[in-house]
Structure 1
Amino acid sequence: MDVRAAKPPLTPALTPVMGADEVNAYLMEVYPQLNTDYTEYRAVEVWPGGCRVRLTAGERHLRPGGTVSGPALFTLADIGGYVCALSHIGRKALAVTTNLNINFMRKAQAGDIDGVCRILKLGKALMVFDVAIVAGEAQEMVAHATGTYSIPPARK
């Protein structure tokens, strides 16, 4: 499966309420520490039921041997879930990760690394998603993550 073209969501009835630029601006407002002094993690694209996030991995993301570190890839997966949630439920900064599992498959070199995210289920209280993390010229999958976000209840 070519993950670069993997946009069709499993739940096609979902409609984004925010685009990538709106989500990035909102993240700068409510979560500025994510990219303090840097802009390496960002939303690139949003579509019904999914999104693409990107890490521009540089020297500070590398572990010995020139491999992008696991924590940097884990953060990309988590940001992917957050962007999926925000782009589909709106400005609810208190949506939080309740679970995130990741499998590392091959090493990733510095450069652009994308997380192609899909919402598997969006309910009133929880959102379940997965992320294919791809890197390199061939866009090989370097990791795969699944997770759950808790959605804050509507205020009365």
Structure 2
Amino acid sequence: MNPLKLTGPEVQALIQKAFPKADPDRMPKVTEAAPGRLRMVAPFQPEMLRPGGVIAGPTLMSLADTVAYAIVLAHVGEQLMAVTSTLTMHFLRGAKPGDLVADAGLLRLGARSAVCDVRIWTESPDALAAHATVAYALPAA
């Protein structure tokens, strides 16, 4: 298992530093970080909703990308130029209004890329709203 180079609070601070114009009260928060795993919670905002009263797909995709970036940073350190290379999203059921929880698992961490598994829900981890596989290209050393 790959050890963490940054703690959850350090990852949170680094993301806020990288995106200084983002409202910190509305940003997803790192709530858990461990080798190979990271959890973020995005506070519910009414503007997340799409017609039909469920959370919009672009919001779920953004959270999947954000939690993948966070887990990569936790394992590689301050490499802010790590960039998304692929994001494959499966929408499994409507995400009911509520805080969004995203669990990321690190499937592979190499010298030039990282691959993450992301699961997102509002009600329960047994009732996933979405699943994503996200790959990140890492900057050359």
Interval of TM-score (by shorter of Structure 1 and Structure 2): over 0.9
Q: Report the count of equivalent residues.
A: 140
Deviation at 1:37, TM superposition (A): 6.2
Counting strand residues as a fraction of each chain, which structure ranks higher? 1
Tell me, yes or no, if structure 1 residue 31 matches structure 2 residue 26.
no
Q: Secondary structure at the match of 1:67?
A: coil
Tell me, yes or no, if structure 1 residue 15 matches structure 2 residue 3.
yes
Tell me, yes or no, if structure 1 residue 87 matches structure 2 residue 74.
yes
Aligned partners of 1:110, 1:32: CA distance in 2, in Å?
27
Give the alignment partner of residue 51 of structure 1, picking from 5, 22, 38: 38
Runs of 4+ in 1 over 6 A off after TM superposition: none
| 1:93-112 equivalence runs, <5 A | 93-112=80-99
Identity, in percent, stands at 33
Aligned partners of 1:72, 1:97: CA distance in 2, in Å?
16
Deviation at 1:27, TM superposition (A): 0.9
CA RMSD, 1 decimal: 1.3
Q: Which amino acid aligns with 2:138?
A: I
Aligned partners of 1:131, 1:63: CA distance in 2, in Å?
22
TM-score w.r.t. length of structure 1: 0.85
Deviation at 1:32, TM superposition (A): 2.4
Aligned partners of 1:37, 1:16: CA distance in 2, in Å?
23
Deviation at 1:102, TM superposition (A): 0.3
Query: Who is 1:149 aligned against?
Result: 136
Structure 2 unmatched runs, 5+: none
Structure 1 unmatched runs, 5+: 1-12
